[in-house]
Structure formats: structure tokens, C-alpha cells
Amino acid sequence: MAVNIVNPRDNDEPTMWPSALVASLILLLIGAITVMAIWKYDTVEDALKMWSALSALIGVVTGAFVAYFFTKEQVAEAKQQTNQANARADEQVAKASQAEMAASVLWGATENAKRQQLLQDPKVLGLFGPAN
């Protein structure tokens, strides 16, 4: 579970320093392993063997950094667009519900002979036809 530490200057957006700290520590660890390999092994070839063993880990870490740090804005924008679309959809559902209630009131106030005439129209039949 991620912990969002709130920046006192901006209560809407969590700070990035915990994530940046973890990323820096991982890079520092990879650098320390590299320095230790160079220091421990006598030849460059032996040190490069250690580096090649770490290449898969470095690839995964690099990909994770890019995915985490450089897609935050796109994710936030997509969430905002989703929220806006949901709000517009809710408005349309409310308007449709009001229109349906108004049509029901009008239908109830219409005389039976006029109802039979209106049921000849396919649009009206779809709303107030025999199934309803």
C-alpha cells in the first residue's frame, strides 16, 4: 500500500520525494555493486562479467523508473477526463429521467381516444406501447 505524503504548500497533490528517494537509493545500490566489482576483481573482464549479470536488473529498474515517473501526468489527465465524462453521463441520465417523468405525466393526462391515435406513431409506441 502506497503512502502519499502531502506537501503543505499544495494539498491537492502528493509530493514526489519519497518515490525519488527510493529511486535514488536503488541507483546508488547498483552503483555500489559496480564499484565493489571493479575494486574486488583484478581484471576489467571479471568486473564486466558482474556488470553483465546485473544487466537484466538494470533494464527492469530503468523501465520501472520511466513507467513510474514519466506517466504520472498522463494517468492524472486520464482520470480527470474519466471523471468529467462520468459527470456528463450523470447529467444526461438525470435529464432523460426528467423527460421520461414529464412524458408519463402528459401521457396520463391524455384522453384514451387521443392515446390510441398517438400509439400509431412508432416513437410513442416504443415508450408507451403494449409492453409498458
Maximum average pLDDT range among 16-30, 36-50, 77-91: 77-91
36 found inside a domain: yes
13 found inside a domain: no
54 found inside a domain: yes
CA distance 29 to 48: 17
8 found inside a domain: no
55 found inside a domain: yes
| Residue ranges making up the domain that contains 49 | 19-70
Give the count of domains, the chain. Answer: 1
Whose CA is closest to 82, among 70, 92, 71, 74? Answer: 74
CA distance 11 to 14: 7
Please state the pTM of the whole predicted model: 0.46
Buried b (16+ CB within 10 A) or exposed e, 65-102: eeeeeeeeeeeeeeeeeeeeeeeeeeeeeeeeeeeeee
Helix or strand (DSSP H, E) at 12? strand 10-14
51 found inside a domain: yes
Q: Any bridge partners for residue 7, and if so which?
A: 10
pLDDT at residue 81, rounded to an integer: 95
65 found inside a domain: yes
27 found inside a domain: yes
CA distance 80 to 91: 17
pLDDT tens-digit profile of 54-84? Answer: 888 888 888 888 888 778 788 889 999 999 9
**Is residue 10 pLDDT above 70, yes or no?**
no
